[in-house]
Amino acid sequence: MRGCSAAAQCCSRSWPPRPCWSAARADSAENTGRQNGECGLARVRIRLTHRRDCDDSVIAARAIVALRHRPVIGRLRHLQDNVEDASVTSEPNDADVQTKTWPPQRRSPLHAFFESGAAAGVLLVLAALNAMIIANSPLSVVYFKVLELKIAGLSLLHWINDGLMAIFFLLVGLEIKREFIEGQLATWSRRALPAFAALGGMIAPALIYLLIARGDPAAIRGWAIPAATDIAFALGVLALLGSRVPVSLKIFLTALAILDDLGAILIIALFYSGELSLAMLAAAAICIAVLALMNRFGVRSLLPYLVVGALLWFFELKSGIHATLAGVALALTIPLGGRGAESDEPEHSPLHKLEHGLHPYVSYFIVPVFGFANAGVALAGMTPALLLTPVPLGIMLGLFLGKQIGVFGFAWLAVKLGFGTMPAKASWPQLYGVSLLCGIGFTMSLFIGALAFAGNATLNDATKIGVLVGSAISAVLGYVVLHVAGARLAVPDEEPAKPAPSILGRKRAR
């Protein structure tokens, strides 16, 4: 009599991470008699459905060990009562068995926080709040003087806005290229709904701003400020909602924000460039040609691209075109395919390697530093009446009203006219909540505002007030709408599990 020794060994030696596997092997001798309560049964393997947590796998493993001395039929039937969503499968390959120490290790709260989508948004909010507090404290003099500190001919604020943000735009460009080639924007059918929504989300806020600021020639230059969406902030709010928001809406918001970033890049290139230097433009064009040739001739090492990209950044800085666009141009030339046998493996792609390498530095350092350097506003002498002046009022209403009208209205039209399809398992109230979150324009709006009103401290401060207030209102109301609209999607803990299919080939009531 051989029992469940293999199952016990499986539980004691390893535990796989993802997908969660739990294998129970009941080996018996050939049908040698029924005096021991055993029947002639070969191996049975049970594969649990893929789940993010491994609670079902834990239940299965403990059940196997506890039933080691029971007859095979009894073991299998009792095991069936303890396992959800189980199904009979063939014996998996050795590659299916992944090793991990048992019991599974708990992640620290800090590790879980930084792995969540909300971490980058929370850090950005904290950076902005600290900037506001310091700018209105006795340390304000130190805060503003440090930002004006000259390094290699440029102020520290200039290095942050033109240097660090070029890396930010490099990451944005990498994401845009990847999504258009192999991601959620790879086909026209996938692009349709987010493209319509992004277009409306840029047109409506700009029109509202122009309507309010039409009598002030200086203020009109900021028309593009409310047209941007902060993707990290918006996705961070969605991450806080958890299962109340279907995955399809998160994909929709990501695709929309990427297209919105693409629109913001074009706006910066076309409307916020300075006086052009033809010599520097020619040098920048040569750098772009070299990058394209390296891509064309199969250069896969990232170092040559980064070296030429640094030269491209310098020439664009001196050319009159905003230097951050060098990051986008560099991103579009980074190869997406691997080499040889690795061509079908995304992890070997230079683009994926660079994107994954940059992401934590951009999310947890560059964007919070940018927020800290640009969100500080001295409120001394300001009155509530300032909010009714054209620049802050146009930005607030553009972000809060314009975004929800443009995104939701154009998305509704796209669905009704048959150009796009509604995100799976999403309702119209939920789509409206996402439209509200698009009014969070923090990083990109502050960036465009700094370009629009460079050298005008009064309008620059008014821009910061409008962006902060408009983004905060949009974030809070968007969260509330999605929380209420998605309440029925949250799965309660006490919900009974579905009966598992019979592993003996016949249905059995629990």
DSSP state of 386: G
Q: At 294, which helix (H) or strand (E)?
A: helix 278-296
* CATH architecture of the region 115-273+322-338+345-487: Up-down Bundle (1.20)
User: Tokens 């049964």 correspond to what residue?
Assistant: 41
In terms of Cβ atoms closer than 10 Å to its own Cβ (0-12, 13-18, 19+), residue 302 is: middle
Picking from 137-141, 251-255, 388-392, 497-501, which range would have the lowest pLDDT averaged per residue?
497-501
User: What's the confidence (pLDDT) of residue 75?
Assistant: 40
- The pLDDT of residue 247 is above 50: yes
- The pLDDT of residue 167 is above 90: yes
User: What's the confidence (pLDDT) of residue 271?
Assistant: 87
Question: What's the rounded mean pLDDT across residues 361-390?
Answer: 87
Q: Count of alpha carbons within 13 Å of 21, Cβ hemisphere only? A: 24
Q: Phi/psi at 339 (nearest 5 deg)?
A: -115, 135
In terms of Cβ atoms closer than 10 Å to its own Cβ (0-12, 13-18, 19+), residue 81 is: exposed
Distance CA 150, CA 157 (A): 9
Q: Kindly give, in sequence order, each residue whose CB lies less than 8 Å from that of residue 152, ignoring residues fewer than 6 positions away.
A: none
- 191 and 388 in contact (C-beta within 8 Å)? no
Q: At 87, which helix (H) or strand (E)?
A: strand 86-89
User: What's the confidence (pLDDT) of residue 114?
Assistant: 55
User: What's the confidence (pLDDT) of residue 139?
Assistant: 92
- Rounded to an integer, what is the distance from CA 62 to the centroid of its chain? 37
Distance CA 106, CA 317 (A): 48
- Rounded to an integer, what is the distance from CA 223 to the centroid of its chain? 27
Q: What does pLDDT average to over the chain?
A: 76
pLDDT tens for each residue of 98-129:
444 455 555 555 555 555 556 777 888 899 89
* Cα dihedral 259, 265, 266, 267 in deg (nearest 10): 110
- 171 and 356 in contact (C-beta within 8 Å)? no
User: Tokens 């553009």 correspond to what residue?
Assistant: 398
Q: Count of alpha carbons within 13 Å of 113, Cβ hemisphere only? A: 9
* Cα dihedral 264, 265, 267, 271 in deg (nearest 10): 140
In terms of Cβ atoms closer than 10 Å to its own Cβ (0-12, 13-18, 19+), residue 233 is: buried
Instruction: Pick the most confident of 62-71, 182-191, 473-482.
Output: 473-482
Q: Kindly give, in sequence order, each residue whose CB lies less than 8 Å from that of residue 481, ignoring residues fewer than 6 positions away.
A: 429, 432, 433, 436
Residue of 86 and 279 predicted with greater confidence: 279
Q: Phi/psi at 154 (nearest 5 deg)?
A: -120, 145
Distance CA 256, CA 194 (A): 5
3-state SS class at 28: coil
Radius of gyration of the chain (CA): 28
Decide the pairing of beta strands 150-151 and 154-155: antiparallel
pLDDT tens for each residue of 189-239:
778 899 999 999 999 999 999 999 998 888 999 999 999 888 778 887 887
Distance CA 439, CA 429 (A): 16
The answer to whether the peptide bond before residue 217 is cis (omega within 30 degrees of 0) is no
